[in-house]
């Protein structure tokens, strides 16, 4: 339980932007996230086989991607869907890290798995469904790894910042926020990419903000254009699902880019990524009560 429950601190002061700390750069090995550049994180939704992961990782690493994503523990809406390979999946990710030098980001669903996953991963991902799993957030405060905190599908930005504060309040300042789309009445896309979340979060918060266009779009054809939008509103990075054979994927194949599609997206993004550092100077001042505690 948080020892500061009696309200002597404000609800997200540990992650808020302030004059003395306008930004917190999260360092993972020699990758700096939130330093003004654009950090790409990519890979399959789920770890399925060694060859699937190694082939994807080698392709991505050869194109300059430094962080490999892949879920070994999958929070599936249906209990009958593929649940991930667990520890065997972590071992495959570790092999990809050894062979390519890429850092690994992978999801953790339970506080009881944190220690084990932290042995294999460089960044621990909290999925949308776990954003308010406070026992997990508390444990991540002492895990010794960076945390990628996804916005819950029905969470306000204030809720997201309070979850980040929870992790920070237990001692871990290395948090990356991720907008991945929110639920709405409109089912044309899987989730609605809240474009404004990026400048709002960057205006009030010192943490890096990345966007996951894959879970927002739900279909691969929309992923590159949402990625482009994310970059021009100031995202510090992108988390993108890529699969060597999306039609055979065990999870999220419809929204996974093929390897050539990923390469095409990267070349489209190059021009936008080049102006990315200059965008930080254009972050608006956001006024209003929306983010009050
Ligand atoms: C994922 O990254 O594969 C995932 C499950 O995402 P989210 O938690 O955003 O649904
Ligand atoms: Mn997925």
287 within some domain: no
Q: Is the CB of 180 under 6 A from ligand 1?
A: yes
Nearest ligand 1 atom, CA 150: 9
> Among 134-143, 226-235, 271-280, which stretch is predicted with the lowest mean pLDDT?
271-280
pLDDT tens, 41-92? Answer: 999 999 999 999 999 999 999 999 999 999 999 999 999 999 999 999 999 9
291 within some domain: no
Q: What does the pLDDT average to over 260-272?
A: 97
| Cα-to-centroid distance, 12 and ligand 1 (Å) | 24
What is this structure's pTM? 0.97
| Cα-to-centroid distance, 99 and ligand 2 (Å) | 24
Q: What is the pLDDT of residue 8?
A: 61
Banded model confidence at residue 257, pLDDT cuts 50, 70, 90: very high
Nearest ligand 1 atom, CA 252: 3
Q: Is the CB of 71 under 6 A from ligand 1?
A: yes
Q: What does the pLDDT average to over 264-291?
A: 86
Q: What is the pLDDT of residue 285?
A: 84
| Cα-to-centroid distance, 203 and ligand 1 (Å) | 25
pLDDT above 70 (res 162):
yes
98 within some domain: yes
29 within some domain: yes
Q: Is the CB of 151 under 6 A from ligand 1?
A: no
286 within some domain: no
Q: What is the pLDDT of residue 283?
A: 87
| Mean pLDDT score of the chain | 95
Q: Is the CB of 127 under 6 A from ligand 1?
A: yes
Nearest ligand 1 atom, CA 46: 3
Q: Which ligand is closest to the CA of 129, given by its number?
A: 1
Q: Is the CB of 217 under 6 A from ligand 1?
A: no
pLDDT > 90 fraction of the chain, expressed in percent and rounded: 89
60 within some domain: yes
User: Which residues constitute the domain of residue 80?
Assistant: 3-280
Domain count within the chain: 1
Q: What is the pLDDT of residue 3?
A: 66
Write the CA distances from 154 to 92, 128, 207, 291, 292, integer angstroms. 33, 9, 21, 15, 17
pLDDT tens, 4-30? Answer: 666 666 789 999 998 899 999 999 999
Name every residue whose Cβ is closer than 8 Å to that of residue 229 and which is 6 or more positions away in sequence.
193, 195
CATH number of the domain where residue 182 is located: 3.20.20.70
Taking CA atoms only, the protein residue closest to ligand 1 atom 4 is 127
């Amino acid at each position: 339980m948080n020892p500061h429950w009696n309200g002597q601190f404000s609800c997200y002061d540990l992650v808020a932007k302030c004059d003395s700390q306008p930004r917190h750069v999260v360092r993972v090995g020699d990758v700096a996230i939130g330093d003004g550049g654009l950090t790409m994180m990519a890979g399959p939704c789920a770890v399925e086989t060694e060859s699937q992961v190694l082939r994807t990782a080698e392709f991505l690493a050869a194109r300059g991607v430094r962080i490999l994503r892949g879920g070994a523990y999958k929070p599936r809406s249906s209990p009958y869907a593929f649940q991930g390979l667990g520890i065997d999946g972590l071992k495959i990710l570790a092999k990809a890290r050894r062979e390519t030098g890429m850092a690994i980001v992978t999801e953790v669903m339970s506080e009881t798995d944190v220690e084990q996953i932290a042995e294999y991963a460089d960044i621990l991902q909290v999925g949308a469904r776990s954003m308010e799993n406070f026992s997990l957030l508390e444990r991540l405060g002492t895990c010794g790894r960076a945390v990628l905190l996804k916005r819950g599908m029905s969470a306000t930005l204030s809720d997201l910042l309070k979850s980040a504060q929870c992790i920070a309040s237990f001692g871990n300042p290395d948090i990356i926020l991720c907008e991945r789309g929110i639920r709405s009445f409109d089912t044309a896309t899987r989730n609605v990419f809240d474009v404004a979340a990026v400048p709002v979060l960057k205006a009030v918060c010192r943490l890096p903000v990345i966007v996951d266009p894959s879970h927002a779009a739900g279909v691969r054809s929309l992923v590159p254009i949402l990625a482009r939008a994310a970059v021009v509103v100031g995202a510090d990075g992108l988390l993108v699902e890529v699969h060597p054979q999306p039609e055979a994927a065990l999870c999220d194949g419809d929204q996974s880019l093929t390897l050539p599609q990923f390469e095409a997206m990267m070349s489209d993004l190059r021009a936008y990524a080049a102006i990315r550092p200059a965008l930080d100077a254009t972050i608006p001042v956001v006024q209003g009560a929306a983010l009050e505690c």
